[in-house]
Structure 1
Amino acid sequence: MLARPPHQIVWDYLNHTQFELNIDYCQRLTQLINNPALLDKNHPIDRDFYNAKLFTDTPIAPVEWQWDELSKIFHIGTKNLPQEQIPHDVHEWSAQYLAHCQDVLATPAPSSSQRECLPEELIRLPACMPPFEAQGSLVDSLVSRKTCRSFTEKNISLSHISTLLYLSLGYLNERKDDVDPSLPKGLEARRSSPSGGGLNASEGFLYASRVDGLKPGIYAYHCALHALSHVSDLPPAPLGQLLSGQHFINNLPAGLFITSRFDKLWWKYEHSRAYRMAFVEAGHISQTFQLVATHLGLNTWLTGALTDDCVETLLGLDNTTEQPLFFVGCGYGDGRVQCEALVALINAQEKNP
C-alpha cells in the first residue's frame, strides 16, 4: 500500500493493477484485515473489492520464499509483461513492436551523456590493443578466469586500463560499418556486450588507486570518446568500506563501478521488468571485463555488495536517474580464491575444532 494523500493506493502486483482508496474504503479495508469475518458481499464497498479482485473466495496457495517480502513483490510484480494481446505469429509481433518503437521515438530521447566536459577536462586514453595482436583464445580466457581475493601492490598500466574500458564499455569503431539500416538514429553505437533494446544504458566509473599515469581518484568513462574525466579524489576510507566491509580488497589497484541509466530504460520500457534487464546488462559487461583482464594477465574480483549510499555520493549520483549496480576489479595477484585472514581462520578452526 502506498500513501498518496488524500488517498491510499492499493497495488495488486500480481495482476499489475492499482486502486485509489478514499478514507471510507481505507477504513473498511482496515476493518476486514482486523476481522475477516465481517466480509459481506452485500456491503457496497466489499462488493467493489470483490469486483476489483482484491478479495477472493479461492484459497491462495503460499509461495515458498525465504527472502523478505520486498524481494518477492519485486519478482512477482515484474512477471508477465502486461499485454492486451500476446502476438500469435511473427507478423503480429512485428506490427506491435514497430508501433511501440514509433511511439517511443515520438518522445524526446534522454541525453546521450549526463557528464558534459570541456575538451581540456578529458583524459584521452591510449589506443586499445589491436585485435590482431591478441594472443590466446577465448577458451583460454574462459578456462583461466577465476575470482581472486589476494592482490599485490603492483601498478596497472594505462594501456591495460584503456583496453579494458574500450572492450567492455567502449563504442566499438570496428563495428561502425556493421549497422543494421533499421536501427533508429542515435542507437547505432555497438558494444561488445548485448544491451537491452540497444540502449546502452550502462555506464562506468573507474576506481584508480595505482594506475600508471593517472592520479588516484574516481574517473567517469566517456564511451563515445574513449576518454576519462576526473570525478573525485579517492575517499580517506579504504575501498572495502565502499563494498560492505570487504577489506581484503583494500589494495586493489583498479576497478569499475558499473552503473545504469534508468532514464534510458524508462524511455523505451515503461514496465518495471526493465529493472531486471539493468542487472543483466551489468552482468554481461562484468563478464566481458573479466575475460579481457584475464587475457591481459590480470586477476579479477567482483561484487554486488555495495555500500550504496557511500558509492552514490562518491560517484556524484545522489538522487539521480543513474545508479551503481555492480563492481568488478582487477590487478596482479597470487590467484588465491580466499584472502589470507580467512584462510588463517579456517586453518585455526580445523586445528581446534
Structure 2
Amino acid sequence: MHINPYLFILARPPHHIVWNYSNHTQFELDFHYSKRLTQLITCPELFDPNSTVDQDFLAASIITDEEIPTPEWGWDDLSRIFHIGTKNLPQEHIPQDVHEWAVQYLAHCNEVLSTPAPEPNRIDPHNANLVALPVCKPADALKGSLATALINRKTSRSFTGQSLSLRQLSTLLYLSLGYLNERRGEINLSIPLGMEARRSSPSGGGLNACEGYVYVQHVTGLKAGVYAYSSDLHALSLISPLPDEPLGKLLCGQHFINTLPVGLFITSRFDKLWWKYEHSRAYRMAYVEAGHIAQTFQLVATQLGLDTWLTGALTDDRVEALLGLDDSPEQPLFFVGCGKGDGQVQCQELMALIQHKDPSP
C-alpha cells in the first residue's frame, strides 16, 4: 500500500484536517484516526484490510493500493501545493454550450449579489482629509505611441531622487488605478449597479480588487508620507509619515532604490475576490491583476520620460504595518516605482564588483 503523495495535514484542534490538494477533498480526523494515519505513514505495510479505519483511508484515497506517480516539480513543496491545489476548478456541471454557460453564470452572479459586498478595510477616503490631484487629461499628458512606450520601458536601478511634479503623479495614478471618467457613461445591462467603475487594466470579475498606496519621498507640492489612493475620487489621503528606516528596508534590503521619489504598493482585497469566487484559484487572479496594474504604471511612467523599477520582494510584516494592514484580508503584493535616473540596469555598487573596481568615490 502507498500513502497518497498529494496530502497536506493541518492542525485544527482538537482534530487534524487531511487535505488532498489534488482532488480538493478534505477529511477531519479524530485522535484515533490521526494516530493510525501516523502509523501508516511510518510503515504503509501495516495496512490491515480488516480494519474499518484503514478501509476508510482507502476509500478516501488517503491510502492507495497503487503508487501514484509524482512528476518532477523543481520548486519547493509549498509552491507545489499552491499550484496543484488551485488547479481544476470544482464544477458540479460543466456547461456544454454557450446557453448553458450564460444560465449558470447569471445564476452565480445573482447569488453573489444577494449578499452585500465586503466593506473596505482602509479609512473611508470620503471622510478623510483629502489631497485632490490635478485633473488628468490623458491626451494632453502623454505623447507618443504605445509601441514607443513598450520599446523604451526598462528596469532601472539608479535614481537621482529628483522630484516629480504633482501633475505627473496625478497622471500615473489616474491611468493606472483611477476609475476612468472617460468610461463612466458606458451603459451595459450586464454590469450590476454599483460595479460600473472601470480602470485601464482588466480586473477579475470586474471587482477592481486591487488598491494602491503611494510612497512619496519627493513630489513637488506634496508632503512626504504614505498615502492611500482613492480610485473613485482621484485623491490621496495621508495614512502615515515616512518611516525612519529607508525604503530598501521595506523591500528586502534593495537599498539602491532608497532615493526613489515615488513608489506604489499594490494590494489586493482577498475578501472582495472571495465574495464572488469562493475558491482558492482566485488567489492566482490577485497577482494577475496586480501585474496588469504594474505594467500600466510603467508604460505611463515611460511616456512621461521617467525611469521605472519594480519588485515582488517585500518585507511583508513591515509593509503591512506601514500601510495599516496587519491581520487584514487586504494584503500588499507588489511594488513599482519611478523617477529620474541614468537608466542603468544595475546600480554602480554592483557594477563595480562585476568590473572589480572600488565603488567608493
**Range into which the TM-score falls when normalised by the shorter chain:** over 0.9
Which residue of the partner structure matches residue 152 of structure 1?
160
- Match status 1:332 vs 2:332: no
2:288 to 277, 280, 305: 280
- Match status 1:243 vs 2:251: yes
2:223 to 212, 215, 220: 215
Residue 133 of structure 1 and its aligned partner are, at CA, apart by: 5.3
Residue 119 of structure 1 and its aligned partner are, at CA, apart by: 5.2
User: Distance between the aligned counterparts of 1:275 and 1:179, measured in 2?
Assistant: 30
Residue 348 of structure 1 and its aligned partner are, at CA, apart by: 0.6
Which residue of the partner structure matches residue 4 of structure 2?
none
Secondary structure of 1:348 counterpart:
coil
1:89-131 CA deviation, whole Å, 9 max, x = no partner?
Answer: 1111111111111111111111257321465600000111342
TM-score w.r.t. structure 2 length? Answer: 0.94
In terms of mean alpha carbon deviation, does 127-136 or 85-94 score higher? 127-136
The aligned runs of 1:46-57 (5 Å cut-off) are: 46-57=54-65
User: Distance between the aligned counterparts of 1:118 and 1:328, measured in 2?
Assistant: 26
In terms of mean alpha carbon deviation, does 170-179 or 128-137 score higher? 128-137
User: Distance between the aligned counterparts of 1:294 and 1:133, measured in 2?
Assistant: 12
Give aligned-pair identity as a percent: 66
Q: Decide whether the 8 Å contact of 2:214 with 2:265 is kept in 1.
A: yes
Instruction: Tell me the amino acid that sits aligned with residue 60 of structure 2.
Output: A
Structure 1 consecutive aligned stretches of length 4 or more whose deviation exceeds 4 Å: none
User: Distance between the aligned counterparts of 2:122 and 2:63, measured in 1?
Assistant: 45
Secondary structure of 1:200 counterpart:
coil
2:79 to 68, 71, 75: 71
Instruction: Tell me the amino acid that sits aligned with residue 171 of structure 1.
Output: Y
In terms of mean alpha carbon deviation, does 285-294 or 149-158 score higher? 149-158
Q: How many residues align?
A: 349
Secondary structure of 2:158 counterpart:
coil
In terms of mean alpha carbon deviation, does 196-205 or 119-128 score higher? 119-128
The aligned runs of 1:124-273 (5 Å cut-off) are: 124-132=132-140, 134-273=142-281
Secondary structure of 2:100 counterpart:
helix
Residue 62 of structure 1 and its aligned partner are, at CA, apart by: 2.1
Residue 135 of structure 1 and its aligned partner are, at CA, apart by: 1.5
TM-score w.r.t. structure 1 length? Answer: 0.96
Instruction: Tell me the amino acid that sits aligned with residue 246 of structure 1.
Output: Q
Residue 288 of structure 1 and its aligned partner are, at CA, apart by: 0.2
Which residue of the partner structure matches residue 320 of structure 2?
312
In terms of mean alpha carbon deviation, does 120-129 or 158-167 score higher? 120-129
Distance 1:114 1:133, change over 3 A: closer
User: Distance between the aligned counterparts of 2:128 and 2:277, measured in 1?
Assistant: 36
Structure 2 unpaired stretches of 5+:
1-8
Residue 41 of structure 1 and its aligned partner are, at CA, apart by: 2.1
- Match status 1:86 vs 2:94: yes
1:104 to 92, 102, 112: 112
Structure 1 unpaired stretches of 5+:
none
- Match status 1:18 vs 2:29: no
Secondary structure of 1:30 counterpart:
helix
User: Distance between the aligned counterparts of 2:343 and 2:125, measured in 1?
Assistant: 39
Q: Decide whether the 8 Å contact of 2:112 with 2:275 is kept in 1.
A: yes
